[in-house]
Chain A
Amino acid sequence: MTYIAKPKFHHPGLKKNDLGYTHRDYEGKISTLCAGCGHDSITASIIEACYELSIEPHRVAKISGIGCSSKTPDYFLGNSHGFNSVHGRMPSVLTGANLANRDLIYLGVSGDGDSASIGFGQFAHSIRRGVNMTYIVENNGVYGLTKGQFSATADRGSKSKKGVTNTDNAIDLVAIALQLGATFVARSFSGDKTQLVPLIAAAIRHKGASFIDVISPCIAFNNHAGSTKSFDYVREHNDAVNRLDVLVGRDPISVDYAPGTVQVVEQHDGSRLALRKLDADYDPHDRLGAQTFLQKHAAKGQIVTGLLYVDPDAEDLHTHLDTVETPLNTMDEKALCPGSAVLDKINASLR
């Protein structure tokens, strides 16, 4: 629980990253989620990814909506500013924050209720606009905080813990993100850190709207037989299209992947994504192909994971608006106010 202070000491031999920070410098408060929650694994992956990328912890803004997933920004990057905003409205708050200061890294954390139900519109429009962000949905198909109601990503025919069958069709946020023009689209599983950490790292390095749907079983309300978001179900139906390494001018994060073809994607900031392909047919630069691939596998009851689409030359909202390089929040009256001489001219034109 959060009232228990997290001890600050750590092992003196703890490894440091390029900036001299240890893993502990990227941690936050102690989680108040249920023991074994998939969301805590995602938190661990975010910490790992930020550590690996040697990000200055305070240069990240963590923004969330409302729900179990939206509480998690308190549990990582304790030296970053966080904003637990309004249910379903993380995308707009993040968009505004991003417009104010383009120099920070924006991490949006949301859930399936937050993004697929109440905030479906905001999810869609932030992606459409190409806000430079990493948008993570911690997807468990269920409302945890209100005790087990179906969310809009719950599969049709899946059963709730109380035995109710869901008759509504599910929303696949990955399919929607692809359709809306997200320039980095991935899916992963909270229980697969090897896949998830590099995906988060790559998404952070991507300049544009990055979306990652992370299936994250709810151990309290959605981890039973009949659920399609349980640990067992996802492990059985997971079909990974690729494994990813992110190379930022140094050693790859991990190399012990299954052998296969390797495709290197160079992103705009110079970082390289090495994709170890598991599926020989899979091309992550083909938006249409990704959509078809996704639908075909969904029909077979398979959950496709991995990096499904990336546009390495993506543009973001600041490019579209042609804003100055200097963050808007640093500008004062000298930069912003046209002054009295201009006002006199305006007055003269209004007579």
Chain B
Amino acid sequence: MSVQSPISSVNDFVVRFANVNGSGSASANELFARAILRHGVPVSPRNIFPSNIQGLPTWYEVRVTEAGHLGARGGVDMMVAMNPQTWDKDVASIEPGGYLFYDSTKPMPTSKFREDITVIGVPLTAITNSTYTDPRQRQLFKNIIYLGALCALLDLDPKLVEQLIGEQYKGKEKLLSSNVHALHLGRDWALQNLKCPLGLRVKKADKVGDRIFLEGNSAAALGAVYGGATVCAWYPITPSSSVAEAFTSHCKKYRHDPETGKAKYAIVQGEDELASIGIVIGASWNGARAFTATSGPGISLMTEFIGLSYFAEIPAVIMNIQRAGPSTGMPTRTQQCDVIACAYASHGDTKHVLLFPEDPAEAFEFAAAAFDLAERLQTTIFLMLDLDIGMNHRLCRPLKWDDARQYDRGKVMTAEMLDEGRDFGRYLDVDGDGIPYRTYPGTHPTKGSYFTRGTSRDRYARYSEEGAVYADNMQRLVRKFETAQDMVPRPLQANAAKPTKYGVIYFGSTSPAMDEAIGLLEARGHHLDRLRIRAFPFHSSVASFIADHDFVYVVEQNRDAQLRQLIVNENGIDPVRLVPILHYDGTPITARFIANAIGDHQDHLKVTPLRKAVS
């Protein structure tokens, strides 16, 4: 066996922490990620956690990436192995030449290690137990002690970590000083007993800029605050619960009347998803901006109401933080698997608007836009996040808001308009865009009232089972959906450096991995034009992008190529021209996966000249 030299890399490596769920490791690990950011080096952290409260294995992965690749990379350069349960698998997952950091208090047989990795033992339990007596303190400070040791090993500036601890425990001096003390316990031990730093190290850079670091769910909730949502009804479900929780905490800060202290919002935790969407539809019918947040199983439960929203034309915003299905599936794993379920949710002929943000910044923008779209189009708007964007901190551009921006409340007929003698037909297409006027309940003593129903009715909202009347209404709904095409965020195209016959379509959380994969593919001599779809219904540029290329890869995180199906179905595209690239094991898609899958496909296409092949 050849001797494997240790990996040597500055600002470009992956550290994975293997912990036990509920051991308080999450905050120490997050501190590690933030500390590297403070060095001006981008990081992309991911929680890999079980559907469990305490006891099961959990991992936290930090990709240190000066180049700014924010997708998951795959592979582990350094494993911080704090969980005996997963030891064997964790050790096996380290890249050749990588590093294993472990608690060496209890000796381990050499068979438990690998020869091609560097093993770093720190007697964490021994250090902790000689310093602390309280079991809870021992548990928590052990995490900070390993963070301290990592500081020394990876050459982090302890001042920057101390500064972060200071911000976290501002006003809580006792906690602050004890955390700083624990940090130095670990750091000093490593400096005295180990060769520091390692081949992996962090060096100050200036690559973070003014970017911010937040979770997609929190960003979407903030978008709802800025977008004027006043009613939120929800039912707890992973990975969406933190949307409603974040909305609650944002509202507590920004939505209380300064004079009376009263709330300019109403949040109800429903008894189930049916009630949640029912409350949203009732509130929206009555002119408030309302939303719910859920995940796949919740969408299944809400579908009857979604059909009502479509047919009776009531605005609604549903944030779907997708997780791996079907059924209960893998509740804590990511997928983009509800594209079809949401696009065509409910019985009968229905179609819904979907928005696909790529990161927290877009989650904020699209969440705010969703309320304008819902009221303008008088229908359900789905904000399609997933666990990868929703529950992980992601570096993204700062959030922006134009103070001159006014909410688009859509076509609402007021008492004044009714008094002017305007003809009010609730389902009357006066402008040719398929969108009728609505009135809010209580508008006028004698004009503008109507009976909202899920049954068929004519243009003036009068019950009707006449075939022609029904078909007229269904056709108008198609017209309305066509109008939506030009209102939703357009696809973004990025062309390859060289002219190419091949393209790639992708969406949502695949974005950072795709951007990185393009570089990897270029290195292999494959050039691709890119189109990032940001909404459904598809803008006409989707069809023209496909027409402009011999064939197009469609990269997505589900088994059945759902976006591809939707493109084929809605645009009448020959399926042969769309090559599915599918990743659906519940982990976030990586650049390596995309580059390998597309690269292998492209290699087969390279025509070998006949003469060369026979010689």
Contacts and interface: CB of A to CB of B under 8 A. Distances in A.
Partners in one complex: yes
A96 B278 contact: yes
B274 to A, nearest CB: 6
A80 B451 CA distance: 8
A123 to B, nearest CB: 11
B453 to A, nearest CB: 4
B255 A329 contact: no
Given A81-B439, A323-B263, A351-B212, A92 B275 contact: yes
B451 A74 contact: yes
Given A82-B451, A96-B290, A101 B222 contact: no
Given A83-B452, A95-B268, A343-B399, A100 B288 contact: yes
Contacts of A344: 398
Contact of B446 (A58, A92, A340): A58
Given A97-B285, A101-B288, A350 B212 contact: yes
A272 to B, nearest CB: 27
A322 B399 CA distance: 30
A286 to B, nearest CB: 28
Contacts of B212: 347, 350-351
A262 B267 CA distance: 42
A103 B284 CA distance: 16
A270 interface: no
A331 B264 contact: yes
Nearest to A56: B445
Interface string A50-81: 00000011110101000000000110001111
Contacts of A91: 275, 278
B593 to A, nearest CB: 30
Contact of A329 (B271, B286, B399, B452): B286
Given A92-B274, A122-B271, A343-B399, A73 B451 contact: yes
Contacts of A351: 37, 208, 210-213
A94 B271 CA distance: 15
Contacts of B308: 85-86
A183 B453 CA distance: 30
A57 B441 CA distance: 11
Nearest to A58: B445
B401 A99 contact: no
A99 B288 contact: yes
A89 interface: yes
A333 interface: yes
A228 B394 CA distance: 64
A273 B462 CA distance: 39
Interface string B257-291: 10011111111101110111111111111111010
Contacts of B402: 340
A338 B443 contact: no
B159 interface: no
A92 B267 contact: no
Contacts of B267: 321
Contacts of A255: none
A99 B231 CA distance: 7
B304 A86 contact: yes
Contact of B452 (A56, A82, A104, A330): A82
Given A84-B453, A122-B274, A122-B275, A93 B282 contact: yes
B317 to A, nearest CB: 13
Given A58-B444, A324-B257, A338-B226, A346 B399 contact: yes
A351 to B, nearest CB: 6
Interface string A121-163: 1101100010000000000000000000000000000000000
Interface string A289-328: 0000000000000000000000000000110011111001
A100 B222 CA distance: 20
B275 A125 contact: yes
A338 B255 CA distance: 8
Interface stretch (B21-29, B75-83, B403-411, B580-588): B403-411
A342 interface: yes
A100 B445 contact: no
A338 B398 contact: no
B281 A93 contact: yes
A96 B271 contact: no
Contacts of B268: 95, 99, 129, 317, 321
Contacts of B440: 81, 101, 329
Nearest to B282: A96
Contacts of B257: 324
A333 B386 CA distance: 29
A350 B398 CA distance: 9
Contacts of B233: 92, 96
Contacts of A98: 282
Given A95-B268, A96-B280, A350 B213 contact: yes
B261 to A, nearest CB: 8
B284 A58 contact: no
Contact of A93 (B278, B442, B455): B278
A154 B404 CA distance: 60
A100 B232 CA distance: 11
B194 to A, nearest CB: 32
A333 B407 contact: yes
A14 interface: no
A96 B283 contact: yes
A335 interface: yes
Nearest to B267: A321
Contacts of A35: none
Contacts of B264: 323-324, 328, 331, 335-336
Nearest to A125: B271
B195 interface: no
Contacts of B450: 81-82
B375 to A, nearest CB: 11
Contacts of B290: 96, 100
B400 interface: yes
B266 A321 contact: yes
Contacts of B403: 339-340
B454 interface: yes
A103 B442 contact: yes
B217 to A, nearest CB: 14
B70 interface: no
Contacts of A18: none
A317 B305 CA distance: 23
B214 interface: yes
Nearest to B266: A99
The residue in B230, B260, B444 that gathers the most chain A C-beta atoms within 10 A of its C-beta is B230
A86 B231 contact: no
A350 B265 CA distance: 25
Interface in B89-125: none
B254 interface: yes
B463 interface: yes
Contact of A96 (B263, B286, B401): B286
B512 interface: no
A25 to B, nearest CB: 9
Contact of A340 (B255, B400, B453): B400
Contacts of B262: 322-325
Contacts of A125: 270-271, 275
B266 A328 contact: yes
Contacts of A74: 451, 463
A332 interface: yes
Contacts of A96: 231, 233, 278-286, 288, 290
B401 A343 contact: yes
Given A81-B441, A84-B452, A351-B210, 19 more contacts: A58-B441, A58-B446, A80-B449, A81-B440, A82-B449, A83-B282, A89-B278, A92-B277, A92-B278, A93-B281, A93-B285, A96-B233, A97-B282, A100-B286, A121-B272, A122-B275, A322-B262, A336-B264, A347-B399
Give 7 nearest A-B pairs by CB, closest first: A96-B282, A92-B278, A100-B288, A81-B441, A329-B287, A96-B279, A96-B283
14 contacts: A85-B452, A85-B454, A93-B285, A94-B282, A100-B230, A104-B286, A122-B271, A322-B263, A323-B262, A323-B264, A324-B257, A325-B260, A343-B401, A351-B211
